[in-house]
Amino acid sequence: MDVQVYDADSSHALVEAHVRFYAIRRHFHAGGGGGNGSSSSSGLPSSSSSRMLHHNLKFDPMRIINPDDELGAVMFPSTPTSVSHHIDAYSPILPPSRREFYENGRIHQNSNFVLDNSTGLNLREVDSYTGNRDGLQCAVCGETYGTTQNLVRHIRMCQLVEEHDDYPVKGSHRELDVAMIVSGNNNNNVSKGVSTFHRGGVNKNGTSFACADGNSSDEQWYDDFREYLTTSQIEILCVFEAIEPLFSGTFQCMQSYTIDDIVFGREFAPCMLYGEESAENERKWWHRLLLGYSNDNDVAARVDLDRFHEIVN
C-alpha cells in the first residue's frame, strides 16, 4: 500500500521529516453508556439506530518499509515520495481470511512452522527475509529460520543425515514432507504419515493446515481486501511531521483514507518534469509547477502538480 507525499512549499526544505501510519478501528457496544441504539452482527451501528453509541477507538500502528521505520521513517518531501506499507501476516489491515497464513499463504500460522506472535508486538515479515529476525521454525527440532527456503534446506539436510544414520521415521525430520509444506495444497498432510505426526501440520481432527493457496489471483486478493475494509470501516491515518526551517517550529499534517480513497492495481503517474523551458511556458506553468532548478543551459526540473494525484496502470 503506497501513499504519495510532497511538500508544496519546497523552496524551504523541511528538517527531520518523517511519517507514520495507523489503522483506526471502532468497536461499538450496543446500549453502552448513554445510547440505546442497536448494532449489527459486525459490531457496527445499524442503519435503524437513531442515537449515538459509545465505542472503543483503537489506533493500530502500521509498519512502514519505505522509508524504513527501523531508521525512523525519515524522508525528503521536497520531491514527491511514495510511503509504503507491506500488507503481510502482521499487518492490521490484512483481511481475516488471509491472516492464518504466512509468506503470502505458503504456511499456516498453526502449523508449528511459524513462530508464535502472541506477544502483541508490531512485526514485519520483511525483517525475516533480510535476516533481522527469525519468523519460521522447524516443527521437529525447533531450529529457527528467516525464510521458507532456508527452513526447507534445513529439513532436507537433516533428512539426508537421518536416513544415512537409519533414524526412525516417526518423530524425526524424515517424517516431514517438504513438498507439501511449500506446495500450496492444504488438502494433504505435511507429514508422510496420515495422522501420526501431530507436532507438524496435522491437528487433532486430522485436518492439514500446512499451507494455503498462495497463487490466488490479484483480483481475488483485491476483492477480499475491499470487502474487509468496507465491512469493518477501517480508516487509515497518515501522520506527517517535520520542522520548518524559518522559525524552527514543529508541525504535523494528517490525512485519512477509507476504502473510497483506495485504488487497486495502479501506480502514481510520473509527475516530475525535466527539460528546457521558455519564459512563456514558465508563466503558463507558474501556479502548478513549484519546485525548480535550472543551470546555465536553461534546463529545469519541476513538479507537475496537475499530475500529482493522477494514477496509471
Q: How many CB atoms lie within 10 A of CB 190?
A: 28
In degrees, to the nearest 5, what angle opens at C-alpha 123 toward C-alphas 190 and 202?
Answer: 15
Which residue has cell 465491512? 231
Which residue has cell 499451507? 211
Least confident stretch, 83-97, 156-170, 201-215, 242-256: 201-215
Per-residue pLDDT at 75? 95
Ranked by mean pLDDT, the top range of 147-156, 218-227, 255-264 is 255-264
Question: Would the pLDDT of 290 be above 50?
Answer: no
Give residue 264's pLDDT band: very low, low, confident or very high (50, 70, 90): very high
Q: Where is pLDDT greater, at 179 or 278?
A: 179
Per-residue pLDDT at 198? 28
Q: Compute the average pLDDT of residues 225-245.
A: 93
Local structure of 103: helix, strand or coil: coil
Q: Compute the average pLDDT of residues 101-126.
A: 72
Please state, in angstroms and rounded to a whole number, the distance separating the CA atoms of residues 261 and 275. 33
Please state, in angstroms and rounded to a whole number, the distance separating the CA atoms of residues 181 and 216. 17
Extended beta strands in 232-288, E state: 235-244, 249-257, 267-268, 272-276
Q: Where is pLDDT greater, at 74 or 137?
A: 74
Question: Would the pLDDT of 204 be above 50?
Answer: no
Please state, in angstroms and rounded to a whole number, the distance separating the CA atoms of residues 99 and 88. 9
Residues 277, 298 contacting (CB under 8 angstroms): yes
Per-residue pLDDT at 255? 95
Nearest residue to 23 (alpha-carbon basis) of 62, 68, 77? 62
Cα dist. 255→19, 99, 107, 195 in Å?
Answer: 11, 27, 35, 52
Please state, in angstroms and rounded to a whole number, the distance separating the CA atoms of residues 312 and 292. 24
Nearest residue to 90 (alpha-carbon basis) of 117, 110, 112? 117
Question: Would the pLDDT of 120 be above 50?
Answer: yes
Please state, in angstroms and rounded to a whole number, the distance separating the CA atoms of residues 55 and 32. 8
Local structure of 272: helix, strand or coil: strand
Residues 184-196 have pLDDT tens digits of 443 334 444 332 2
Walk me through the domains of the chain, giving residue ranges and CATH numbers: 2-88+222-264 (2.60.40), 101-211 (no CATH), 266-313 (no CATH)
Q: Compute the average pLDDT of residues 276-280.
A: 55
Cα dist. 219→23, 97, 225 in Å?
Answer: 23, 15, 10
Helix and strand numbers (H, E) in the chain are 5, 14
Give residue 30's pLDDT band: very low, low, confident or very high (50, 70, 90): low
Per-residue pLDDT at 187? 39
Residues in CB range of 255: below 8 A, 6 or more apart: 3, 237, 238, 240
Question: Would the pLDDT of 41 be above 80?
Answer: no
Question: Would the pLDDT of 101 be above 90?
Answer: no
Which pTM does this prediction carry? 0.69
Q: Compute the average pLDDT of residues 132-152.
A: 85
Work out whether the CA dihedral 71, 75, 76, 81 comes out positive or negative.
Answer: positive
Please state, in angstroms and rounded to a whole number, the distance separating the CA atoms of residues 73 and 235. 21
DSSP H or E run through 107: strand 107-108
Question: Would the pLDDT of 207 be above 70?
Answer: no
Per-residue pLDDT at 201? 31
Per-residue pLDDT at 69? 94
